Amino acid sequence: MNDVVLTGDRPTGPLHLGHYFGSLANRVELQGRYPMYVLVADYQVITDRDTPGEIRRNTTELVLDYLAVGIDPARAVIFQHSAIPELNQLLLPFLSLVSVAELQRNPTVKDEIAHSSQRAVSGLMFTYPVHQAADILFCKGTLVPVGKDQLPHVEVTRLVARRFNERYGPVFPLPQALMGEQPLLKGLDGGKMSKSRGNAIALSATEDETAALIRKARTDSDRHITFDEERRPEVANLLTLAGLCLGRSPRELAEEIGDRGAAELKRVTTEAVNEFLRPIRKRRAELDEGDVRRILAEGNERARERAVRTLEEVRQAMGF
């Protein structure tokens, strides 16, 4: 079977280091080896907020982040949910394949509801994992580079694909999740680093912003630095960040820092992150909104062609 890569992000704010080590690095690594689709999941912005907000600006920023980390539009189709009606139409048959109980059991949905500031939980909150099945299956995606929070959703996609094939004949492959070097990077508050939880280091952050964020990060009162994720999560978190950016083990870094304490740990981490982000910032500064519009227009056209073919196949299989 020929593998196809599908992955994406919500345009809800700037991409951060969690995205990089959870998913973006894998995408850059896989592009060119397989056909690759990268989705700007704009319709999913309204799962946990009332309106799409500054959707146009956030979309531009998201695509600039992609280009800055090295996703190459010549080798990856970058496209938007809202531009592909045929993809969205797959949601309807797919919803018929899962039960309400299955939707309610999803642990990532539960976690997101717990962190949502919305007063009422929308129906989309429960059904968006099935929408993600449409994202993955519209292009018959088989490899899905994602972070750990996405594993339950890839399971839903496999369930949808399996049930569709059982009921209507073999149309879809069963995709698999591909986790990155750090499937769950924690933010500066110890929770999952998230765009919408105010705890992230953005890939587009300036040197000074990065330094200020790390300066504010919590540590503990033990001066001697050790790597102990259980008992010293804050210190371990900074060591992990520095280690990822330097390509070194956090334990080794802890030994080097030793008695020089939290101030030295923060200095090392700030320098590591800033060094790592330097080339990404530089590429970003060379691009503008015009580049993004061109890339999306072309990507949307290519993704749409693919979606039209899949929807036609689905209708035929179902006997419409």
Strand order in the sheet with 5-9: 76-80, 36-40, 5-9, 143-146, 176-179
Contacting residue, 35, 175, 183, 243, with ligand ATP by CB under 6 A: 183
CA dist., res. 14 & res. 231, Å (int)? 31
By CB under 6 A, residue 243 contacts ligand ATP: no
What residues contact 128, with CB distance under 8 A and at least 6 apart?
Answer: 44, 47, 109
Beta carbon of residue 215, minimum distance to ligand ATP (angstroms, whole number)? 21
C-beta of 183 vs 250, nearer to ligand ATP? 183
> CB–CB of 16/153 below 8 Å?
no
C-beta of 17 vs 257, nearer to ligand ATP? 17
Beta carbon of residue 212, minimum distance to ligand ATP (angstroms, whole number)? 20
Interaction mask 135-154, ligand ATP, x per CB under 6 A: -----------xx-xx----
C-beta of 22 vs 243, nearer to ligand ATP? 22
C-beta of 146 vs 292, nearer to ligand ATP? 146
Please identify which residue in the block is written with the tokens 């912005």. Answer: 45
3-class DSSP state of 244: helix
Beta carbon of residue 311, minimum distance to ligand ATP (angstroms, whole number)? 25
C-beta of 122 vs 196, nearer to ligand ATP? 196
Q: What residues are paired with 31 via a beta bridge?
A: 34
Q: What is the DSSP string of 133-186?
A: HHHHHTTT--EEEE-GGGHHHHHHHHHHHHHHHHHH-S-----EEEE-S-TT-B
Contacting residue, 40, 133, 136, 185, with ligand ATP by CB under 6 A: 185
CA dist., res. 239 & res. 185, Å (int)? 12
* Closest CA relative to residue 310, chosen from 37, 59, 11, 30: 37
Contacting residue, 121, 171, 184, 287, with ligand ATP by CB under 6 A: 184
> CB–CB of 270/210 below 8 Å?
yes
- Identify the burial level of 121 via C-beta atoms within 10 angstroms of its C-beta, where 0-12 means exposed, 13-18 middle and 19 or more buried: middle
Beta carbon of residue 9, minimum distance to ligand ATP (angstroms, whole number)? 4
Interface segment toward ligand ATP; rule CB under 6 A; list 133-141, 188-196, 242-250, 267-275: 188-196
Interaction mask 4-43, ligand ATP, x per CB under 6 A: -----xx-x-----xx--xx--------------------
**Binding-site size, ligand ATP (CB under 6 A):** 19
In the range 67-126, which residues lie near ligand ATP by CB under 6 A?
none
Q: Please calculate the CA angle 109-114-119 and round it to the nearest 5 degrees.
A: 105
C-beta of 25 vs 211, nearer to ligand ATP? 25
Beta carbon of residue 13, minimum distance to ligand ATP (angstroms, whole number)? 6
| Pairing mode, strands 143-146 and 176-179 | parallel
Q: Which residues bind ligand ATP (CB under 6 A)?
A: 9-10, 12, 18-19, 22-23, 146-147, 149-150, 183-185, 192-196
